[in-house]
Amino acid sequence: MQHGKPNLRVVSVNDVLSGQHKERPNAAEFARKPPLRFPQGDGPTADPGGAASGMVAGYTAAWNSGNSESVVEFFTPNCEVSINGGPVMRGAANLANLVEDFLDEVPNLSLVCDGCRIAGDQVAYLWTLTGHHVETGKALRFSGWSEWDLEDGTKIKCSRGWFNASEYYRQAGIAAPKPRLTLVQAPSATLEAN
């Protein structure tokens, strides 16, 4: 086994989105997939009237309040949030900045919970967001989903959100942000001797 400095290489976001960088999920392919569809009913993951169901309703209402602090209250202080497979944001302060920025960008947003499925401390939250982009005034309507890991069934400790970002930028009439370079550790090509 080789020891020492990790083998690092520079990978662009475009490499990740085009699938040329295989160590991370192909976010472009993932974003093209249609929203998840879950069966309706009172199955084991429906959680009718449970604590997590109440949390989902409160979370939706918090976004619709336009108050970033109300949204952040649903997360643990050391939460981790990733959107479309991007970098992980850690901590409630970073999340508050993200939520405030988005509420500034779409101040009249309306969030609807299209459905959710709950299995223990795992939640799939399907949503549709409507509103108008503040700079262009263009109408927005796009859907996505979030995968949550809950702590004690009431706080989100990890959230992985997914939506078609290209469609959002198209509807908003704005250019997508320029790709940033990211350092990732390349897998080691050495083998251990028996």
Instruction: Report d(CA 119, CA 166) in Å as an integer.
Output: 31
Query: pLDDT, tens digit, for every residue of 95-128?
Result: 999 999 999 999 999 999 999 999 988 999 999 9
Q: How far apart are CA 159 and CA 146, in angstroms?
A: 6
What residue type is 72 in one-letter code? Answer: V
Q: Name which of 63, 188, 189 is nearest 125 in CA terms.
A: 63
**Predicted confidence pLDDT, tens digits, the chain (194 residues):** 444 444 434 434 344 344 443 444 444 444 444 444 444 444 334 555 567 778 899 999 999 999 999 999 999 999 999 999 999 999 999 999 999 999 999 999 999 999 999 998 899 999 999 999 999 999 999 999 999 999 988 899 999 999 999 999 999 999 988 776 555 555 655 555 55
CA 22 to chain centre: 20
| CATH architecture of structural domain 8-32+45-185 | Roll (3.10)
Q: Where are the domains of the chain?
A: 8-32+45-185
